[in-house]
């Protein structure tokens, strides 16, 4: 197991979902974890679980779309433990309603989404780096997505934002590598979080099965899959890895769309009624 004993880590959006998995896995590897989340109650529940598992953890209410909150978050890590070794920029919540393409996305929605997806990563890192420079080392992990490489229809702001996170990862890796700071991105495939389980798949198990079948490993992900990848990237064993965007996606992005191969198209056309598992 990778050893992060005595490392100080911040996980934004670390209360639940992907961030919850990252908080748990970093703490299990020995890191002191500050969960920075909008939802303080859920953050405290997760912190209690981590403490029961002998982890060292604190929480701070943070909105990553606020520069002031992000500065406060970094200050809290210093107050609690005197330094900062790891920052995981993970938090994001989609605004209500459909996104759309350039014609549908309003100017307000564009500003709001880019602030949540991109500006939060820039600002969190900007305030974290000075603290990392004090010790001459640090690791930043940005949570992008397979959508940072591949695009879905009418999802302009998410796809643009996640691709920008990959570009920013490379830029910061080049800018601060000589000062001991590594910056990497993780690009998760579909991760079945508490929220997604409840809101998307609970009443649609055949839809989830259809989704799982798209993955070469035959399953979708769980938050701990991303937590394990983050733990590795923050460990000394990854000291020669920087500026990388690591797909953690069960092989999703290396595969041709096999369901659209000629044979499969004929099969689907012949069996259309039984091959449409999504609810309509």
CB atoms within 10 A of CB 99: 18
Scanning 77-85, 97-105, 184-192, 267-275 for contacts with ligand NAD by CB under 6 A, the matching segment is 184-192
Q: Does residue 124 belong to the site contacting ligand NAD (CB under 6 A)?
A: no
Identity of the residue, 122 or 268, whose beta carbon is nearer to ligand NAD in the bound complex = 122
Q: What is the C-alpha separation between 178 and 184, in angstroms, rounded?
A: 15
Q: What is the C-alpha separation between 74 and 134, in angstroms, rounded?
A: 13
The residue with its CB nearest to ligand NAD is 17
Report whether 229 contacts 262 (CB < 8 A): no
Among 4, 9, 16, 250, binds ligand NAD (CB under 6 A): 16
Binding pattern for the stretch 204-243 against ligand NAD, x by CB under 6 A and - elsewhere: ----------------------------------------
Annotated catalytic residue 122: no
The CB-of-57 to ligand NAD minimum distance in angstroms stands at 14
Q: Does residue 93 belong to the site contacting ligand NAD (CB under 6 A)?
A: yes
Scanning 88-96, 175-183, 210-218, 251-259 for contacts with ligand NAD by CB under 6 A, the matching segment is 88-96
Among 2, 10, 13, 123, binds ligand NAD (CB under 6 A): 13
Among 8, 10, 11, 18, binds ligand NAD (CB under 6 A): 18
Q: How many residues bind to ligand NAD according to rule CB under 6 A?
A: 28
Identity of the residue, 152 or 265, whose beta carbon is nearer to ligand NAD in the bound complex = 152
Tokens 């209360």 -> residue: 15
Among 10, 31, 38, 248, binds ligand NAD (CB under 6 A): 38
Q: Does residue 77 belong to the site contacting ligand NAD (CB under 6 A)?
A: no
Structure-block tokens of residue 188: 């998760």
**Alpha-carbon separation of residue 149 from 94, 146, 165 (angstroms):** 19, 6, 11
Nearest-10 crossing angle of helices 67-81, 120-135: 30
Structure-block tokens of residue 88: 């995981």
Among 7, 10, 11, 17, binds ligand NAD (CB under 6 A): 17
Name the catalytic one among 92, 127, 158, 176: 158
Q: To 10 degrees, the CA torsion angle through 257, 258, 263, 269? A: -60
Q: Does residue 65 belong to the site contacting ligand NAD (CB under 6 A)?
A: yes
Measured in whole angstroms, how far is the alpha carbon of residue 170 from the centre of its chain? 16
Q: What is the C-alpha separation between 185 and 183, in angstroms, rounded?
A: 7
Q: Where are the beta strands (DSSP E) in the chain?
A: 8-12, 32-37, 56-61, 86-89, 138-143, 181-188, 245-248
Among 23, 125, 160, 193, binds ligand NAD (CB under 6 A): 193
Q: What does the angle CA 146 – CA 143 – CA 118 come to, to the nearest 5 degrees?
A: 100
247 CB contacts (<8 Å, ≥6 apart)?
146, 149, 187, 189, 253, 254
Longest CA–CA span in the chain (Å) reads: 65
Among 28, 58, 90, 233, binds ligand NAD (CB under 6 A): 90
The CB-of-106 to ligand NAD minimum distance in angstroms stands at 19
List interacting residues with ligand NAD (CB under 6 A): 12-13, 15-19, 37-39, 42, 62-65, 90-93, 116, 143, 145, 188, 190-191, 193, 195-196
Residues marked active site are found at 158
């Amino acid at each position: 197991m990778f050893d992060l004993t005595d490392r100080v880590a911040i996980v934004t959006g670390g209360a639940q979902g992907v961030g919850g998995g990252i908080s748990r896995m970093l703490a299990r590897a020995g890191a002191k974890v500050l969960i920075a989340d909008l939802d303080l109650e859920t953050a405290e529940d997760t912190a209690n679980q981590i403490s029961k598992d002998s982890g060292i953890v604190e929480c701070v209410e943070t909105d990553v779309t606020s520069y002031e909150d992000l500065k406060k978050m970094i200050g809290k890590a210093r107050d609690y433990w005197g330094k900062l070794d790891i920052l995981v920029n993970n938090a994001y919540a989609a605004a209500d309603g459909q996104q759309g393409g350039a014609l549908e996305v309003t100017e307000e929605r564009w500003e709001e989404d880019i602030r949540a997806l991109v500006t939060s990563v820039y600002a969190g890192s900007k305030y974290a780096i000075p603290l990392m420079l004090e010790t001459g080392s640090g690791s930043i992990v940005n949570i992008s997505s397979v959508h940072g490489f591949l695009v879905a229809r009418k999802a302009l702001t998410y796809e643009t934002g996640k691709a920008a996170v990959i570009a920013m990862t490379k830029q910061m890796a080049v800018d601060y590598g000589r000062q001991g700071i590594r910056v990497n991105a993780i690009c998760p495939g579909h991760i079945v979080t508490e929220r997604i389980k409840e809101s998307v798949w609970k009443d649609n198990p055949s839809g989830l099965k259809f989704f799982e079948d798209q993955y070469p490993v035959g399953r979708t992900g769980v938050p701990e899959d991303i937590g394990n990848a983050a733990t590795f990237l923050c460990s000394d064993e990854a000291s020669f890895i920087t500026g990388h965007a690591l797909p953690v996606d069960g092989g999703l992005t290396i595969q041709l769309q096999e369901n659209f191969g000629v044979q499969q198209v004929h099969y689907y056309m012949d069996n259309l009624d039984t091959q449409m598992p999504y609810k309509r």
